[in-house]
C-alpha cells in the first residue's frame, strides 16, 4: 500500500553471539498482499545510529480483503460520522422533549395534589344538610 511506519522493538533475547529481536506490527502491514520491506535501525544516542540493509517478506492474499476501509476513503468515514452526529442530535432533542414533558407531568401532579388537599379541607369544614322529608 506504499505506507510507511515505525515500530519499536518489544522483545530482545541475547544468546551467545546472537541477538533475537521481536516487535508487533499492526494490521496496516497485512492489509495488502505482496512484499513488505523493512530494515532495523539501532539508535544508541543522538550521535550514533546504525541500520541494516532493507529486506522483505511476503504477505499472502487473505479473505475478505474488500471489507477493509482504507484511510483514503474519507467519504465513507465522513458519511458515517455525520450519521452518528445526526443520531446524537436526535437523541438529545428527544431527551430535552422528554424532560419538558416530564416537567409538565410533574406540574399536573402537583396541581392535582393541591386540589385534592383543598377538597379534603373543604370536606372537613362544610356541613351537609339533608332536605326535610315528609
Write out the E strands in the chain: 11-15, 18-22, 34-38, 41-43, 49-51, 55-59
pLDDT tens, per residue, the chain with 134 residues: 677 888 888 888 999 989 888 888 887 788 788 888 989 888 887 788 889 999 998 988 876 555 555 665 666 666 767 777 777 777 777 777 777 777 776 776 777 777 777 766 666 655 545 555 55
57, 26 Cβ separation under 8 angstroms: no
Q: What is the pTM of this model?
A: 0.41
Amino acid at each position: 500500500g506504499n505506507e510507511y511506519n515505525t515500530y519499536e522493538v518489544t522483545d530482545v533475547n541475547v544468546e551467545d553471539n546472537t541477538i533475537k529481536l521481536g516487535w508487533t506490527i499492526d494490521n496496516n502491514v497485512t492489509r495488502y498482499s505482496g512484499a513488505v520491506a523493512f530494515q532495523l535501525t539501532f539508535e544508541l544516542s543522538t550521535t550514533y545510529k546504525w541500520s541494516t540493509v532493507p529486506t522483505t517478506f511476503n504477505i499472502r492474499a487473505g479473505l475478505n480483503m474488500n471489507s477493509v476501509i482504507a484511510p483514503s476513503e474519507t467519504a465513507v468515514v465522513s458519511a458515517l460520522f455525520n450519521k452518528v452526529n445526526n443520531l446524537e442530535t436526535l437523541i438529545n432533542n428527544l431527551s430535552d422533549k422528554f424532560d419538558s414533558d416530564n416537567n409538565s407531568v410533574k406540574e399536573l401532579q402537583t396541581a392535582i395534589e393541591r386540589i385534592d388537599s383543598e377538597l379534603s379541607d373543604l370536606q372537613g369544614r362544610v356541613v351537609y344538610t339533608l332536605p326535610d322529608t315528609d
